[in-house]
A and B are shown apart, each in its own frame.
Chain A
Amino acid sequence: MSARSLWCALREGEWFDKVWAATFPAIFILYPLDFILKLHTPWFHAMMYTTGILGPAAFIVGRYRFLTREFLPVYTRLETLCERVGMRCTIRTTRMRWLVNCVMLCMAFAMLLGVAGPIFWNRNLWVDGVRALASVCLSAGAVLIQVRLYSTVKEADRLIQCLEEGRGFGELRSVPHAARFILLLIPRRHREHLIGDLEEEFSSVVLPEYGLRKARLWYWSQVLTSIWPLFWAEVRRIAGIIVLWKSVR
């Protein structure tokens, strides 16, 4: 998935996409290589710091343009549609905050690599180690952000399509199917009421308040924490019956 998004950025992206897609794999390789092989040659360091500054800068420009041109219009449209069907779309704000944090983190790494690197050019093992680690984190984090952005926009597109075709209301409110399957493990006398309670809370309180992603996480947490006490009570009940039967026999 990460390699695919890198390839997409290289092939179809604008100039800054091409720059960061080309420099991040280089950063990923060059800095650890410098740390491991101790290649302290001027041309190697020039290459390292060029990629270390160019890559994050291009990435930040690219993400800013992506956010303003593609991400925000899609989510504004989704928000409008959600309001029309009586739901509050809080996905946008939470994800935006997450993205801004990630971009800030990238900037911090870029500063560390580009500015602090040449200052501590003293063959210090710790500085080299931190730099190598930071470069690996930066490259991996940037690719993760890219993947996340693409998948987020894709998901938003899917939801918009569902809502426009008039079938989105049900789909948006659906609970995770795998979790519902797990609930079949609950004893039958509790199953219907417990699932009903969870669905009522999911659709009427959690989903409008926190959005689909958090609501699904909430559903999963409730399912996983609810299974154990019921399962354990059933085990004890069966064990009690066996002990009683053995003593009567």
Chain B
Amino acid sequence: MPRFSSKIGVDTPSDLFYIVSMQSRTNRPDPLGEFETLVLMAVVRLGSEAYGMRIHHELESTARRRCSLGALYTTLDRLEVKGYVASQVGEPTPERGGRAKKYFQIKAHGERALKESYAATRRMAEGIEPLLGGGL
């Protein structure tokens, strides 16, 4: 007979680990936010040249989305923690004051998340143009 306590929830260590392990077993990527999707797309578009300032330029020129470098690095860090992108430190260059670039590359898990996000957006966008008065 299990003993139920009045405390039900994730406030014990065993519950926490149980929930974490359950999430990882589903193997389904977390849904991407709008900005995360744009950043991942920029990384894909730039290929081997994807580093901070280039991604920033790509977001500004193609997506017409203004953001600070700090916000971009925070997002890239989050994507890296989620396992969607991998980073690699390049060679230091003189125009950067002897500092190295950090290149980013999308991983298979990230590709899957991006595909799902893109597909969801496309499905939702179907037939929406006339409702918004056209011009999309």
Residues of chain A whose beta carbon lies under 8 Å from any beta carbon of chain B: 186, 189-190, 192-201, 203-204, 222, 225-230, 233, 244, 247-248
Asked whether any CB of chain A lies closer than 8 Å to the CB of B127, the reply is: no
* Structural contact, B11 and A196, CB atoms closer than 8 A: no
Q: What are the residues of chain B within 8 A of A229 when measuring CB–CB?
A: 68, 70-71, 73-74
Q: A247-B11, A248-B13 are in contact. Are A194 and B73 (CB under 8 A)?
A: yes
Closest to A180 in B: B97
Closest to A248 in B: B13
* Structural contact, A197 and B96, CB atoms closer than 8 A: yes
* Structural contact, A230 and B70, CB atoms closer than 8 A: yes
* Structural contact, B53 and A201, CB atoms closer than 8 A: yes
Main secondary structure of the interface of A (DSSP, over half): helix
* Structural contact, B69 and A194, CB atoms closer than 8 A: yes
In the complex, which residues 27-83 of chain B have their Cβ closer than 8 Å to any Cβ of chain A?
51-53, 56, 68-71, 73-74, 77-78
Asked whether any CB of chain A lies closer than 8 Å to the CB of B99, the reply is: yes
24 sample A-B contacts, Cβ–Cβ < 8 Å, listed by A number? A190-B77, A192-B99, A192-B100, A193-B89, A194-B69, A194-B70, A195-B99, A196-B92, A196-B97, A196-B99, A197-B56, A197-B96, A197-B101, A198-B53, A199-B95, A200-B95, A200-B96, A203-B95, A204-B95, A222-B69, A226-B68, A229-B71, A233-B77, A247-B13
Known A-B contacts: A198-B53, A227-B70. Give 19 more (CB < 8 A). Answer: A189-B77, A192-B99, A193-B73, A193-B100, A194-B52, A196-B97, A197-B51, A197-B52, A203-B95, A225-B71, A229-B73, A230-B70, A230-B73, A233-B77, A233-B78, A247-B11, A247-B12, A248-B13, A248-B16
Q: A192-B100, A197-B51 are in contact. Are A226 and B69 (CB under 8 A)?
A: yes
> What is the CA–CA distance of A228 and B68 in the complex, to the nearest angstrom?
10
* Structural contact, B68 and A199, CB atoms closer than 8 A: no
Asked whether any CB of chain A lies closer than 8 Å to the CB of B109, the reply is: no
CB distance from B61 to the nearest CB of A (A): 12
Q: What are the residues of chain B within 8 A of A196 when measuring CB–CB?
A: 92, 96-97, 99-101
Q: What are the residues of chain A within 8 A of B11 when measuring CB–CB?
A: 247
Q: What are the residues of chain A within 8 A of B101 when measuring CB–CB?
A: 193, 196-197
- Give chain B's interface residue range (CB within 8 Å of chain A): 20 to 34
Q: What are the residues of chain B within 8 A of A200 when measuring CB–CB?
A: 53, 93, 95-96
> What is the CA–CA distance of A183 and B74 in the complex, to the nearest angstrom?
15
- 5 closest residue pairs by CB, A with B: A226-B70, A196-B99, A225-B68, A196-B96, A197-B53
> What is the CA–CA distance of A159 and B115 in the complex, to the nearest angstrom?
53
* Structural contact, A193 and B70, CB atoms closer than 8 A: no
> What is the CA–CA distance of A196 and B51 in the complex, to the nearest angstrom?
11
> What is the CA–CA distance of A199 and B89 in the complex, to the nearest angstrom?
17
Q: What are the residues of chain A within 8 A of B68 when measuring CB–CB?
A: 222, 225-226, 228-229
Q: What are the residues of chain A within 8 A of B100 when measuring CB–CB?
A: 192-193, 196
Q: What are the residues of chain A within 8 A of B89 when measuring CB–CB?
A: 193
Q: What are the residues of chain B within 8 A of A230 when measuring CB–CB?
A: 70, 73-74
> What is the CA–CA distance of A222 and B100 in the complex, to the nearest angstrom?
19
* Structural contact, A199 and B97, CB atoms closer than 8 A: yes
> What is the CA–CA distance of A197 and B97 in the complex, to the nearest angstrom?
10
CB distance from A116 to the nearest CB of B (A): 45
Q: Choose among A186, A197, A222, A229 the residue with the greatest number of B CB atoms under 10 Å from its CB.
A: A197
**B13-25 interface bits toward A, Cβ cutoff 8 Å, 1 = contact, 0 = none:** 1001000000000
In the complex, which residues 76-114 of chain B have their Cβ closer than 8 Å to any Cβ of chain A?
77-78, 89, 92-93, 95-97, 99-102
Q: A194-B52, A247-B11, A247-B13 are in contact. Are A225 and B70 (CB under 8 A)?
A: yes
* Structural contact, B96 and A228, CB atoms closer than 8 A: no
